[in-house]
Structure 1
Amino acid sequence: MRSNSVRFARINSAGVSHLKQKNTNKIKDMSQTITPPSNVSLQPQVTLQSGGTPNAIGEFIQETLALTKRLFIQLQRRPSTLIAGVIQPLMWLFLFGALFQNAPQGLFGNDLTYGKFLGAGVIVFTAFAGALNAGLPVMFDREFGFLNRLLVAPLVSRYSIVAASAIYIIALSFIQTAAIVTASALLGTGLPNLLGLGMIALIILLLVVGVTALSLGLSFALPGHIELIAVIFVTNLPLLFASTALAPLSFMPQWLQIVATLNPLSYAIEPIRYLYTHNNWTLGSVVMQAPWGAVTFGGSLLVLLGFTTVALTAIQPLLRRRFA
């Protein structure tokens, strides 16, 4: 019995040794098979632009366009937002124009009807209201957690989030402006020439960029959408009535004239109104008589440019802290 056990142990030991040697030979053969040639590198290849740096500008544009497309997809799924944004200013134009259609001729200027007077105010106030709501999508992204996903994503620049929202609001404002200009022309208020239409687009662009910047800053500073909506409601109508959208400066008391000339909306309304009432204009044309002096067309553009610059500069520290 003991000799048989010793014999079986020797056989098992020899078999195990044979299997180990066989497996070792297979591993060597496999390593020789997958060994790459000496001139082939297994390191991942990264394609860089000239100078050895990635095309950061191109990637920033790609990110911005992708985020902008997301906003337009949301608009496509909920078109009622755009429809309401177009119908509401048209109702303002029709109803207010009808309300004052029996006003004495010349009350708002020589041969100027109230419908023609009101058109510029409706254009500017519609663009302002849309830009003031620009922070709501960002605020909802914050509350639903989508913004946190964007902030941890490998973006080239997180400012693409802000740029996408600005592009989206600017596009909506231009659509609304085109609808109001068309409706005003059908109502008989006339139509500026091509250069005048271009100046209207420039004025709307400056105003929308500045107000959008402030709205986006509030969306990052305020704790929730309830507070942001409250700020929008408190700001909207007072700025409308404290401007020249519904009445000229000569109708206002002295203190309200001062407030209206401090309101950026007045510096957008009066140049557009001047374009509707004057075929020939220059940057030196006087568009508004402020309590402290005359305001020219070029001066209004400089005020709007300064307002936009201040708004963009003011939100930079806040965005840097939030994006950090």
Structure 2
Amino acid sequence: MTILSSHRTKGILQRLLTIGRERLQETLALSMRQFLQIKRRPSSFVVGVIQPLIWLILFSALFSNAPKGFLPYSMGYGHFITAGLIVFTAFSGALNAGLPVMFDREFGFLNRILVAPLRSRSSVVLASVVHIGAISLIQSIFIMIAAGLLGYGWPSGLGALTTLTTLSILTIGVTALSLGLAFALPGHIELLAITFLINLPLLFSSTALAPLEFMPVILRWLACLNPLTYAIEPIRAAYQGPVDLGTVVLHAPYGDVSSGTCIWILLTLTIATLILVRPLLHRKLS
């Protein structure tokens, strides 16, 4: 009995390894297809880097003569908005994650993928997550490098890890939302309309461009309901020195919020988004 159980366990493990390897191959193959599209048409990637870089240069120059003590930590405005633009870069890239899938739907390529002998159709979703996650993080790192070259600092050690972790959580959640919209909406025009509708309003209603203390009461509450705020503040704190997840970074109307709490709130919102979107993706891909 022991020998039979051992052989059965080895057989199950081998099958699981085979399934995992096949799913990984499918995901990587579908991801490479999307990376090839970026290689052939790099304009969207370049624009995703240039736009926040222009904002960084223009806004930091616009408020360069602001009095000392005008902002938290007595920092210059360029230092202040760096975290906001890093997050906005990742957010904008992830928000467009549904566009390639939507175009595949409209041109009929998605149907060809779905009738192919895939081990798991979830590879289609995972490929988009891998592709957009990598592109968004690369774009954000470009902004971080540019900010460092402009003299706005660079998070070191645990700060860099906190920054990349926060960006990864945000990217996964927004990518899931974008993919859900890509399957729920009838066409790319509607998806672009919603993207334009929520992109800049979420930026301006967060703490990316102004501290919470400068906002009227209503806007303070909106900023504290905005997921971008909970991604921006831990990264902004990471730029100020050694990272302490217990340090208060947000004086919200409902109480003080630490860096660790911001990350947990962001992670909770991401998990909730994945749970809500999963049934829709399963239904559309089945």
TM-score range, shorter chain: over 0.9
* SS of 2:74 mapped into structure 1: coil
Gaps of 5+ in 1: 1-48
76, 83, 90: which is aligned to 2:46? 83
Structure with the greater alpha carbon radius of gyration: 1
2:173 corresponds to which letter in structure 1?
Answer: G
Distance (whole Å) between structure 1 residues aligned to residue 231 and residue 225 of structure 2: 12
1:311 corresponds to which letter in structure 2?
Answer: T
* SS of 1:294 mapped into structure 2: strand
**Equivalent position of 2:72 in the other structure:** 109
**Equivalent position of 1:50 in the other structure:** 11
243, 258, 274: which is aligned to 1:312? 274
Q: How does 1:130-145 map to 2 (within 5 A)?
A: 130-145=93-108
* Pairwise CA distance, 1:103: 1.2
**Equivalent position of 1:25 in the other structure:** none
**Equivalent position of 2:172 in the other structure:** 209
Answer yes or no: is the 8 Å Cα contact 2:72–2:211 preserved in 1: no
Superposition TM-score, scaled by structure 1 size: 0.83
Distance (whole Å) between structure 2 residues aligned to residue 128 and residue 53 of structure 1: 38
* Pairwise CA distance, 1:53: 3.7
Highest RCO, 1 vs 2 (Cα 8 Å, sep ≥ 6)? 2
**Equivalent position of 2:5 in the other structure:** none
Gaps of 5+ in 2: 1-9
* Pairwise CA distance, 1:281: 2.8
* Pairwise CA distance, 1:106: 1.2
Distance (whole Å) between structure 2 residues aligned to residue 200 and residue 97 of structure 1: 21
**Equivalent position of 2:200 in the other structure:** 237
**Equivalent position of 2:129 in the other structure:** 166
**Equivalent position of 1:286 in the other structure:** 248
* SS of 1:83 mapped into structure 2: helix
Q: How does 1:12-161 map to 2 (within 5 A)?
A: 50-51=11-12, 53=15, 55-161=18-124
Distance (whole Å) between structure 2 residues aligned to residue 111 and residue 295 of structure 1: 20
1:274 corresponds to which letter in structure 2?
Answer: A
1:295 corresponds to which letter in structure 2?
Answer: V
Distance (whole Å) between structure 1 residues aligned to residue 242 and residue 85 of structure 2: 23
* SS of 1:167 mapped into structure 2: helix
1:80-132: per-residue Cα shift (whole Å, max 9, x none)? 22111111111111011111111111101243000000000000011111110
* SS of 1:189 mapped into structure 2: coil
Comparing 53-62 and 151-160, the one that deviates more: 53-62
* SS of 2:166 mapped into structure 1: helix
* SS of 1:92 mapped into structure 2: helix
Superposition TM-score, scaled by structure 2 size: 0.94
* Pairwise CA distance, 1:191: 1.4
* Pairwise CA distance, 1:194: 2.0
Distance (whole Å) between structure 2 residues aligned to residue 224 and residue 142 of structure 1: 9
Distance (whole Å) between structure 2 residues aligned to residue 204 and residue 316 of structure 1: 21
1:244 corresponds to which letter in structure 2?
Answer: T
**Equivalent position of 2:233 in the other structure:** 270
Q: How does 1:174-185 map to 2 (within 5 A)?
A: 174-185=137-148
**Equivalent position of 2:160 in the other structure:** 197
Distance (whole Å) between structure 1 residues aligned to residue 196 and residue 154 of structure 2: 32
1:201-253: per-residue Cα shift (whole Å, max 9, x none)? 00000000000000000000000000000000101111011100000001100
Answer yes or no: is the 8 Å Cα contact 2:173–2:270 preserved in 1: yes
2:163 corresponds to which letter in structure 1?
Answer: I
Answer yes or no: is the 8 Å Cα contact 2:206–2:229 preserved in 1: yes
Distance (whole Å) between structure 1 residues aligned to residue 41 and residue 210 of structure 2: 35
Query: Number of aligned pairs?
Result: 275
Answer yes or no: is the 8 Å Cα contact 2:159–2:242 preserved in 1: no
2:115 corresponds to which letter in structure 1?
Answer: V
Divergent runs of 4+, >3 A: 51-54
2:268 corresponds to which letter in structure 1?
Answer: G
Give the RMSD, CA atoms, in angstroms.
1.2
